[in-house]
Structure 1
Amino acid sequence: MADTTRNLGLPLLAAAQAQKHVTHNEALAALDALVQLACLDKDLAAPPVNPMDGDRYLVTVPSPTGAWAGLSGQVVRFADGVWVGAVPRPGWFAYVIDEADLYVFTGTAWASFRGSLTALQNLTRLGIGTAADATNRFALKSDAALLSWDDVTPGSGNLRVTLNKQASARDAALTVQTGFSTRALFGTLGSDDFALKVSPDGAAFFTPLTASAATGRLTLGRIAGPLEISANAGALPDSLSQTVLRVSGADGLQARLVFDGFGSNTPGNFIFRAAAGTAAMPTALQTGATIGQFSAFGYGATAYGGAARAQVAFVATEAWTDSAQGARVVFRTTPTGAAGIVEVFSAESNGSIRLLPMASDPTVGVGQGQLYANSTAAALKWHTGTAWARISNFAKFASSTSFDNYVAAATWTKVQFNTADSNDQGAFIAASNRFVAPEASLYGFDTALVFKKNGSNAPTALEVQFYRNGAPAGRGRASATGILVDGVTAIDLSTALKLAAGDTVEVFVRFSGADGYVAASDSLFGGRQMA
């Protein structure tokens, strides 16, 4: 018969043993020490200085000293002034008080029980920091939770959390709540499409985002502007009021909005739609209403301008009906040195092009190829690279005289052309019988004069020349000599003169040998601006 118990090694009473109480008390003391085992520490290499009777320790160091010498790996207790050791058996549990951890003896060493747990299978409920229930069979109460990749096995370095539902019509989702009232759902909800749903009260839900499982395309609900798409990592200035979409590029680079079109007649299409009234009750556009516009803003010395400085606008030209919807395209710019936008060019609803009329030639920023409408000259002008030149409504005229002009012999006399038959630009002054150049340009002039005799006088020559600014122009002169035939002899003269603005041109004639007349019939004076 054994002297001790198999598991705890407690002393047994022998038959006819004397002083049985000693053995019995020793067994009770061992039970008191080893049952519900709770040790104060497990990392000491020597006994504490002032132990209390009944104190217990795990001696885990390989070579303890003092009264613990030779007790490595054992459970020691302080009893009746001495340290008593007990050799642990595999499977013994000991709660270590200073660590608040439970240790198990593996047969060779004491190991943390928590560390020895490698698998928990088929648990019906698990609550961490809170109680799980029949619906929430896994429950966690914590300020944070961490799921990380497996760096012990090691694993692949990936981390995946899987939500698996029974069928497409079921839900697999993450639910976000406030006070246990749902405010957002994120997952496959009632289909295999991935969706985001939000709620203000846990009852009514809105769906701002859906990703189609069949096509991979996104469906967006209404977006509260501004929607910002930016390649710029820095802070952006404040948006204009009522901005809906904002696109910005990185510093120094363009922001591009690209419309691709493929196939026959499928270009990118930027569409404006406008109506009077409200979104709920639209009404017809009225004359002058803006249908849509592109506007350019920029930064001045200290801030962005409060209004557009260049603009392309689309404007209604009538009160719209279902069958009458006239519109024009308007270009607006800001003059140099100013800060107010003005309309400078438009494509009208009747197909015409309209330029903003200006009273005088522009003096800032001119260059070859520019075009504008001069309201003073009532003409179009373009810039040659050095000056403004007229390209329409040139000055031209045709004049005649209403009476036979008497010309004394040997005297240069002005022919008094006093009737304007045609006078574009009003450059011919009938009262002074002269042409006045409206602007610097090249002009061509023609005159035709018919001889009329004075009684029996017989001049021997008829001469004609143009006078510029009261003196012979020196650019052409014509004459008829010999016997001048009354009403038959005629003389023609043409010339081209480079005139400055305000220069005058007149016709002068002279008879030799006798006086005579310039006949009113068939005599003329005409001219035209050439360039």
Structure 2
Amino acid sequence: MADTTRNLGLPLIAAAQAQKHVTHNEALTALDALVQLACLDKDLAAPPAGPAEGDRYLVTAASPTGAWAGLSGQVVRFADGVWAGAMPRPGWFAYVIDEADLYVFTGTAWASFRGSLTALQNLTRLGIGTAADATNRFALKADAALLSWDDVTPGSGNLRVTLNKQAAAKDAGFTVQTGFSTRALLGSFGSDDFSLKVSPDGAAFFTPLTASASTGRLTLGRIAGPLEISANAGALPDTLPQTVLRVSSADGQQARLVFDSFGATAPGNFIFRTANGTAAAPSALPAGTSMGQFSAFGYGTTTYGSSARAQVAFATTEAWTDSAQGARVLIRTTPIGTAGIVEVFSAESNGAIRLVPLASDPTAGVAQGQLYANSTAAALKWHTGTAWARISNFAKFASTTSFDNYVGAANWTKVQFNTADSNDQGAFVAASNRFVAPEAGLYGFDTALVFRKNGSNAPTAFEAQFYRNGTPAGRGRTSATGTLVDGVTAIDLSTALKLAAGDTVEVFVRFSGADGYVAASDSLFSGRQMA
């Protein structure tokens, strides 16, 4: 029969033993020391001075000294002024008070139980705050979870979470649920493509995002606008209604959309596709439909304009069929000092270029090289840097007289040209026998005059000159002298005059020595605007 218990080595009372109380008390003392074991320290190699009754220590030193000599590896207790030791057995637990740590005896040494928990291996299940099960062999119930890089042992400073699946056709991903009903999936599902899937009910799924594993290309499902791409760290103004995509730069920088193309037959292409009707039931475009436009908006003194202030647009010019699809390109701008956009230029479907006419010369924002159509003058004009000048439909005329004009001797007399063979711009006024300049410019004039005698009278000189605003122009004068031959003697005169708008030009003649006539036949007065 054994003298002590198997595990704690407590003394047993022998049969017919005298003084049984001694053995019993010794066993109780050992129980008091070893049960709910809490030791003050485990790192001393010699007994402390002044121990208290019942103090316990783990002696881990290989060669302890003093009263602990020979007690290496044992649990020692101070009782009745004596240190007594007990040899621990594998699996014993001891709480070390000065370390606030629980130690377990491995059979050869005391090891930190907390330390042993950092190296758990091959657990079949682990539940934190909840119970793990056969499906969810790791389960966590908490408000938050943190995974951080290893800052205790030397490491790379990196952190990776790896989801490894058996084959491409399997699933590896994160599942987001509401009330344990799936609402989102993120990962690779049924292939190696990476995708985001969402669901309203856990049954039907939409895939708004997929990244191809084979090409690296990103596929987006339908995007509810606006999609914003911005390098601006500050707040942005509200977008316009129906905005689908907004691209903004950093303050002070350009926002750019770049189309890189390679190969002469593969240019970048910005495409508008327009149909009448609805997306579900498109129909042919009617005439006058806008098919697409580039619009520019800007900021005034207090806010952005509510509509475009400059625009390039594309519009139909006929009701479309599959074989008749006429279209035009037009440009709209906003006149200076206004806030309303107007069409100013277009390339028509018939190949013509159209400048929208203005009734008068522009006065604001003019600069050299500008070109416009004047509806009043029915002409194209350009700005020379100092003034608007006509470049088409110049004023020109050719006039005659329907009767022989009598001219008294020695008097300058106006020739009454009263019939216009041609009269562009209506500048020749037959009723007053004169040319009236429709606008300022340089004009050239010609006149041819034939002598007709009056009876037997024989003038000795036949003169002609142009009058401007009722007085001699002083820009040319001609004459024929000597014997004037009836119906044969003729004089020609040409000049160039710089006129202001409204200036008049007339032809005057004078006979010396006798009177005579300017013959209706073969006499003319003509002119043209040169600049």
TM-score normalised according to structure 2 size: 0.90
Report the number of matched residues: 512
| Amino acid of the structure 2 residue aligned with 1:255 | A
| Amino acid of the structure 2 residue aligned with 1:154 | P
Distance 1:64 1:231, change over 3 A: farther
**Residue deviations 1:206-243 (CA, integer Å, cap 9, x gap):** 01111111111111111111111111111111111100
**1:205-284 maps to which residues of 2 (within 5 A)?**
205-284=205-284
Moved more, 336-345 or 57-66: 57-66
Match of 2:194 in 1: 194
Matched, 1:368 2:368: yes
The 8 Å contact of residues 329 and 347 in structure 1, kept in 2 or not, is answered as yes
| Amino acid of the structure 1 residue aligned with 2:271 | I
Partner Cα separation in structure 2 for residue 68 and residue 451 of structure 1: 162
SS class of match (2:58): coil
Match of 2:499 in 1: 499
Match of 1:486 in 2: 486
| Amino acid of the structure 1 residue aligned with 2:469 | N
Match of 2:477 in 1: 477
The 8 Å contact of residues 475 and 496 in structure 1, kept in 2 or not, is answered as yes
| Amino acid of the structure 1 residue aligned with 2:206 | F
Match of 1:43 in 2: none
Moved more, 487-496 or 26-35: 26-35
Match of 2:69 in 1: none
| Amino acid of the structure 2 residue aligned with 1:155 | G
**Residue deviations 1:118-137 (CA, integer Å, cap 9, x gap):** 43333222211111111111
The 8 Å contact of residues 371 and 380 in structure 1, kept in 2 or not, is answered as yes
| Amino acid of the structure 1 residue aligned with 2:52 | A
Matched, 1:67 2:70: no
| Amino acid of the structure 2 residue aligned with 1:388 | W
CA displacement at 1:475 relative to structure 2: 0.4
CA displacement at 1:460 relative to structure 2: 1.1
Match of 2:88 in 1: 89
State the superposition RMSD in angstroms.
Answer: 2.7
SS class of match (2:324): coil
SS class of match (1:246): strand
The 8 Å contact of residues 71 and 85 in structure 1, kept in 2 or not, is answered as no
Match of 2:436 in 1: 436
Partner Cα separation in structure 1 for residue 87 and residue 316 of structure 2: 99
The 8 Å contact of residues 88 and 105 in structure 1, kept in 2 or not, is answered as no
Partner Cα separation in structure 2 for residue 83 and residue 297 of structure 1: 98
CA displacement at 1:85 relative to structure 2: 6.8
Partner Cα separation in structure 2 for residue 109 and residue 201 of structure 1: 58
**Residue deviations 1:455-482 (CA, integer Å, cap 9, x gap):** 1111111100000000000000000111
The 8 Å contact of residues 59 and 76 in structure 1, kept in 2 or not, is answered as no
Distance 1:406 1:186, change over 3 A: same
**1:285-324 maps to which residues of 2 (within 5 A)?**
285-324=285-324
Give the unaligned 5+ runs of structure 2: 60-74
Moved more, 495-504 or 346-355: 346-355
Matched, 1:347 2:347: yes
Match of 1:412 in 2: 412
Distance 1:473 1:128, change over 3 A: same
| Amino acid of the structure 1 residue aligned with 2:395 | A
| Amino acid of the structure 1 residue aligned with 2:10 | L
Partner Cα separation in structure 1 for residue 186 and residue 375 of structure 2: 67
**1:437-456 maps to which residues of 2 (within 5 A)?**
437-456=437-456
| Amino acid of the structure 1 residue aligned with 2:473 | A
The 8 Å contact of residues 56 and 77 in structure 2, kept in 1 or not, is answered as no
Give the unaligned 5+ runs of structure 1: 40-56
**Residue deviations 1:343-392 (CA, integer Å, cap 9, x gap):** 11111111111112111111111110011111111111111111111111
**Residue deviations 1:285-316 (CA, integer Å, cap 9, x gap):** 11111000000001111111111111111111
The 8 Å contact of residues 224 and 244 in structure 2, kept in 1 or not, is answered as yes
Partner Cα separation in structure 2 for residue 83 and residue 350 of structure 1: 121
**Residue deviations 1:387-442 (CA, integer Å, cap 9, x gap):** 11111111111101111111111110000000111111111110000001111100
Identity %: 83
Match of 1:47 in 2: none
TM-score normalised according to structure 1 size: 0.90
Match of 2:530 in 1: 530
SS class of match (1:402): coil
Partner Cα separation in structure 1 for residue 108 and residue 254 of structure 2: 72
Moved more, 472-481 or 4-13: 4-13
Distance 1:228 1:85, change over 3 A: farther
Partner Cα separation in structure 2 for residue 88 and residue 64 of structure 1: 23
Match of 2:516 in 1: 516
Partner Cα separation in structure 1 for residue 232 and residue 192 of structure 2: 36
Distance 1:401 1:472, change over 3 A: same
Distance 1:201 1:96, change over 3 A: farther
